[in-house]
Amino acid sequence: RSKHSGRSTFSWYTAEMDADAQHRKEIEEGLAKALRLDQFDVLFQPQYALKDNRLTGYEALIRWEHPVKGRIPPDLFIPVAEDCGLIEDIGDWVLNRACQEAANWEDNTLKVAVNVSAAQFKPGITERKVANALRASGLKPERLEIEITESLLIANTDAVVETLKAIRNMGVAIAMDDFGTGYSSLSYLSRFPFDKIKIDKAFIQNLGDDTSTDAIVTSIIGLGRSLDVLITAEGVETENQVTLLRAAGCHLVQGYYFGKPDSVRNHQESRLRKQAEAVSRDLEATVPV
Ligand code: C2E
Ligand code: MG
Ligand code: MG
Ligand code: MG
């Protein structure tokens, strides 16, 4: 970086940068190829209502099934896709795929949530893409939810507000993902139309361990309730977290405690298995031995 910092430091720095740039270039080329060769997949993570333990729907989460490297998680390639512009094509693919799958689910009351990153969100275009995905799949708009993040709102433009309104007017819900990690001002809460807040898993994971986290989570739930917005806790991993969230009045939960991202077929099979186990437990309890 600086010619005063000494020769070895200088060459170390550039070698590091080269490796990083090289790595990103590889991912970038791989992503373009992955789209052409159909290497992406979508997994679904269940969401439950706390009041009656009912399954309400699934969040769609992309995976890259690399022929050599195996399954690559989105945190490793979504940021690269955002930087190089491929996020638009990848995002379109996910939206269409998720809507198609959901339209074929046996239970046609279940919702599907799709992540749309700020880099992919284009006023005037995103609402058309949502409408097209609904039309092509036949999915009812009420069954689709779009997850956005606070970073989209930093732009704070009227065009973003108009697009969010247009999407909501179709009957599609808007969820604010990773709430509490992105933006320092809450003023957008009154300016931007949305239906749900998802409390970031960083907060949920410290629930019960740390009184200030408990206070923050309780306040977010209270805020959501007074704004008449649904609250989802994400990253729920323990029964203790469930107990605390229930007591605080949280509406919905998502996390490994309830199910990891997987195919919907696998989720259904394990639900049926658990139901069958519960039935046979009940029978054993009533049949005298
Ligand atoms: P996100 O939208 O906040 O999704 C939740 C992430 O938390 C998922 O990671 C999920 O697997 C993980 N998670 C859920 N429950 C638990 C838990 O109990 N413990 C822990 N440790 N983790 C849990 P994943 O699938 O790796 O996705 C990471 C992020 O990548 C997502 O965060 C989202 O920002 C982005 N992403 C994923 N799919 C898409 C996509 O189709 N489009 C876009 N634009 N972004 C996506
Ligand atoms: Mg999400
Ligand atoms: Mg999140
Ligand atoms: Mg995220």
pLDDT value of position 1: 40
78 Cβ below 6 A of ligand 1: yes
pLDDT value of position 8: 47
pLDDT value of position 197: 96
Atom of ligand 1 nearest to the CA of 261: 11
pLDDT value of position 59: 98
Alpha-carbon span 58 to 38, nearest angstrom: 22
201 Cβ below 6 A of ligand 1: yes
234 Cβ below 6 A of ligand 1: yes
Give, using CA atoms, the residue closest to atom 16 of ligand 1.
235
Residue (of 287, 267, 285) closest to 275 by Cα position = 267
Alpha-carbon span 47 to 67, nearest angstrom: 31
pLDDT value of position 144: 98
255 Cβ below 6 A of ligand 1: yes
Ligand 4 (single-atom ion) residues, CB below 5 Å: 178
127 Cβ below 6 A of ligand 1: no
256 Cβ below 6 A of ligand 1: yes
Q: What is the pLDDT along the chain (289 residues), one digit of tens a residue?
A: 444 444 444 555 566 666 788 888 889 999 999 999 999 999 999 999 999 999 999 999 999 999 999 999 999 999 999 999 999 999 999 999 999 999 999 999 999 999 999 999 999 999 999 999 999 999 999 999 999 998 898 876 899 999 999 999 999 999 999 998 887 678 888 888 899 999 999 999 999 998 999 999 999 999 999 999 999 999 999 999 999 999 999 999 999 999 999 999 999 999 899 889 988 888 888 766 5
pLDDT value of position 17: 65
CA of 48 to the centre of ligand 2 (A): 15
pLDDT value of position 7: 47
Give, using CA atoms, the residue closest to atom 8 of ligand 1.
61
CA of 73 to the centre of ligand 1 (A): 9
Alpha-carbon span 160 to 287, nearest angstrom: 62
47 Cβ below 6 A of ligand 1: no
